[in-house]
Structures are given as structure tokens and as C-alpha cells.
Structure 1
């Protein structure tokens, strides 16, 4: 159960970060949640990635930040994504989730990233042990590695009740055609793909296939490895950002992504609780329609 002091901390942190740039009444918050097409379950439209941010050891300051970030995510019952590829991230995530999320409200996603059936099964079992979740919400084939073999294992575990949703991932436009073929195979509940103001190809490739096949979409690289912030550093937000309540460039970039109806959840990576609170704020207020998304992209291209 969330204690009053914890709730005050979360409310104060989130409000302080978001209100510092608040555009006023335009920031009125809707639910900020989106449906998983397969069964109608809802998740927040902004989650958390752990690549690099949770790959550390023996760092008390990093632990404090990561724990505070996960508490924010748990309070929102949000999505956190990891992988065996991410070094110590699964182990750090599992250790901190015991304190941050005792009610197991967080939707936990990880991946299998190896070759061979026995190797895949062993890696999956180890991921569940490290994270401390069995069943796990979402198990994805990382970068489509040994796709057919690993998908068979994921589906077996799903049928056995140890996995709730099956997914596949990639992070480059060159793999979008493969992701589309995987989606059209009819076995996936989720697909994870790169999409941002800098990398827009998925809107023409992966998203139409996901919509047509009832597949949820997680968006990785929402800031294009920081390229979005390098382009916008020192530049003011355009006046029209107020129309969607974007209070920072991070919110502008995330709201652009959420303007695409196929997107279920974007997963920016961070362990900084202030950045996490700001990111979560992108799920509140109005979202851009197609015309405003074009205007947002065109403006970004001028920076």
C-alpha cells in the first residue's frame, strides 16, 4: 500500500517538474492510458526503458535515483522494459522493484536474446529470476534474433501462463520489413520499434501493419539517442506547443509520438526522477492530430 508520505513525495515531485513550465488550462489531464488491442487492458502511454540507465553496479546515488524513478512508475502502474542485452539492468530492476513496487502494479517487459531453444529457455528463466516476476507481462524476441525458434518458446510459455503477451523488437528502419512480416504472422501481441521526430519511418511501415493486425506498439528511441535534444538545445518551444500542453522539448517529442494512434506506449530511458516525471507529463492534456504532427515535424526540421 502507498503510504501518505510516499504519495506526497510523488505528487510534489511530479507537480513541481510539470508545473514549472505549465501552460495553464491546456494541461488538463485525460486518463493518459491506451488499450492493448489483444484484450483491451490499458497501460499508461509513457513508460520507462532501462538500457544504459539501469546498467550500473555499487552506486548509491544511482540507486536512489533509479528507486525514485521506479516509484513514480509504480504509482502510475506503468510499463518498464529491459533485456538480457542490457548488462546488469535486469538485476538492478529486479532488486529495486521489490521496494518500489510491492503491489506488483508495474507492467514488466523483457526480452530473449540468444540462439537455440535450450539457450533461449535458460535465458528466459534467468531473466524471470533476476527481475523477480513469473509470470512476466511481456516477453519479446530482441532484434528478431533466432525469431522462429524463440517465438515458439515464448508461445509455449504464454500457453502455460508464464508469459502474458508475446512480442518482437528492433531499433532500426532497415529491419521494419522483417517486423511487418512478424506482425502479419498473426502470433504477436506487441511489437517494439524505433520512432521519433528524427526517425519517422515506422509511421509508413510498421504502424499500418500493427493497426491492421491488432498488435500493440511500444516505441523505443523516442529521443533518437539524444539527437532530439541536441537539435533543440537552447531553442524555445514554438508557440503552438501550448495547443497540446507541451511544457518541455521532451514532452513535445513524446506528444508527437503519441499523436500516432497505433502507438500504445513510448518508453524513454532514464533513471532521473525529474526527467521521468516530465516524461510522464507528456501523457496528459490534448494530443496532436495528424495536421499538428506534421507541423511539429516540420518545425523540428528547421532547427
Structure 2
């Protein structure tokens, strides 16, 4: 995989990374031995960017990445997130004391002295406007506890607010064939500020894999069962905020665009990589085969103008009215 630059961090990272939410929890049953095999397979295939958070399995996802580092000699970048441990999750909780405590806990989980990248984990919108929050993060960089920081956001407007701060290095945002607003309203500004874009939920919680059906059953602890209407966290995190039935209809419209020999998921990932502002897409994976399938997307040839227009048409016809005004 041809590496891409991660904004002002300067790190060169694989365009397909590893999203470690699934191996932490809220995606059904996981097995540590299988999860570790998937992590090892990712390194074998050239993945060098792993995204996690302190709340994925209450730190278990971070601990698995610490074990991977102990078992392998290759260097890799880990981006973690902080803030969602707050209970209640309020803007006031994003203060110097709590942020330092979150960082120190993640350092312990990851077995590191310095974090590669810390991201605010979808805080209340007002947090992105607070100078004291960025000052606290600057202090943690100056103190050697982390090398860089960025934000994980729900909305384009939150991202545009955050990147006005000169030391925000990255924005992690939902970007996929069902979420085109970032390309239309964020990417040019991010490029100007030298901010790396990390595309999360790239397969729309599995909808863009093409494997889900109307009668697909999800486990009790799978957010695709319990958060379809935002019962537990932002609704946009589940199926990118798209109504499930509409998403299935959109998938059928996309299938004819997929090149021979590729899967719909690989096509969806390659579509994301057509945008040079994207540093990395971070599909989740729980098995070595899923990792192999994801990384193969980077080897697909560039999509044609016809394919790109086809995705745009599906979005405009079926998806735009549902999601564009909200995120």
C-alpha cells in the first residue's frame, strides 16, 4: 500500500488502517486469540495505523494493541481517543485534570510512555470552541505524554470549528458512500490547514459490505441492534444514520458499479481513497480474513468517472435528504 501523510503529524501511514472498536466490544462476541491473529495479519499486510479508544472494551482494545507491540518488532502508529469515560458525558468534564488522567490510563493500557495521537472522542459540540481544552492538550504534548492530538467528530461543523486551532493535527469523521458532506464542505479547509482526515465507519456499520439483509439478526450487545435510533449514542454512528431499509435499497443500486473481481466492501473502501485529502480509512476487523479483504481494496485500480458519478447519484437520490442536514 502506498503510504499517505497524516496531516501535520508527518507520519506516513497505510491508507487502509485497522479500526479496533470491534475487537473491544459492542459488535457481538469476540475472541482474543482471533483478534490478535487479525492484528498480526494487518501488520503482515502492511497496515501501520491502528485506531482505538479507552472505552472500547473498557480499555481491552488498547491492551490488545500493547500485546501486539510486545510480540512484533515493526513500528506502527496507534491513535486512541479520550472523553467518553466521563459519566455524565458533559462539556465541563473536558478539563485539564480529567484529560491528563485519561491520557495516563491509555498510556498504561498501551504500555507506552508517549501516545502517538490522542483524539477527543466526540465530545459535546461546545468543547470544540473552548481554548482551555486545547491549552490542556498543548500542555500534554509539551510534557511528553503525547506527540500530537486531533478530534473525532460527529458533524462537519464541529470539524470546521476544531481545525481553526493551529495544533489540531487530525480529524476523524464518518465518511463513506452514504456520507458525502465532508468531501463537499470540509476537505478543502482541512487541506489548507494541513489536517489529516481519518475516515471512520467507512462501511456504514456493515451496510456497505453488501452482506446484510432485511432479516439479518444482530446480537444483544451489537449497537446495530440497540442504537438504530440513537438510544445509546449518536444515531449517526450506526449505519451512518441511514434508515436500514433505505440503506439496503442503496446497496442494490451500488452493486452494478463494483468492478469484476472486487467485493462491494472493497469498492466502497476504494471510493474513499479516491479523495487525496483522506489519510486513512479505518474499517473494523475481527478476523484475519476480514483484514485481508479490507487491505486488498488499496490495490484496486482508480475508479472511473462513471463509477464516481454513480455513487453520487445514489447518494443524491436516496441518502442526501436523510443525512446531509444532520451531520
**Under TM normalisation by the shorter chain, which class is it?**
0.7 to 0.9
Among 233, 240, 256, the alignment partner of 1:238 is 256
CA contact (8 A) 1:77 1:107 kept: no
Q: How many residues are paired up?
A: 263
1:138 aligns with 2:117: yes
1:260-271 equivalences in 2 (<5 Å): 260-271=275-286
Q: Which shifted more, 40-49 or 260-269?
A: 40-49
Deviation at 1:157, TM superposition (A): 2.1
Match 2:266 to one of 251, 257, 262: 251
Q: Pick from 25, 38, 58 the counterpart of residue 69 of structure 1.
A: 38
Distance 1:130 1:150, change over 3 A: farther
State the Cα RMSD in Å: 2.8
Distance in 2, Cα, partners of 1:290 & 1:185: 35
8 Å CA contact 1:259–1:290 kept in 2: the answer is no
CA-CA distance at 1:220 after TM superposition: 0.8
Shift of 1:239: 6.0
Residue 290 of structure 2 corresponds to: 275
TM-score after normalising by structure 1: 0.77
Q: Equivalents in 2 of 1:261, 1:37: separation in Å?
A: 12
Deviation at 1:91, TM superposition (A): 2.5
1:124 alignment partner in structure 2: 103
Task: Specify the SS of the correspondent of 2:149.
Answer: strand
- Give the Cα–Cα distance (whole angstroms) in 2 for the partners of residues 191 and 223 of structure 1: 18
Residues 1:105 and 2:85 are matched in the alignment: no
Q: Deviations over 1:96-118 (max 9, x none)?
A: 54246532522101112041221
From 284, 289, 308, the equivalent of 1:293 is 308
Q: Deviations over 1:4-34 (max 9, x none)?
A: xxxxxxxxxxxxxxxxxxxxxxxxxxx4321
- Cα deviation, residue 190, structure 1: 0.6
Give the Å deviation of 1:49: 1.3
CA deviation after TM superposition for structure 1 residue 241, in Å? 2.0
Cα distance change on mapping 1:235 and 1:68 into 2, 3 Å = farther
The alpha-carbon deviation at position 281 of structure 1 amounts to 0.9
Aligned to 1:284: 299
Equivalent in the alignment of 2:157: 177
- 8 Å CA contact retained: 2:53, 2:80: yes
- For 1:119 and 1:46, locate their aligned partners in 2 and report how far apart those are by CA, in whole Å: 32
| Alignment of 1:207 onto 2:187 | yes
- State which of 131, 136, 154 in structure 2 corresponds to 1:153: 136
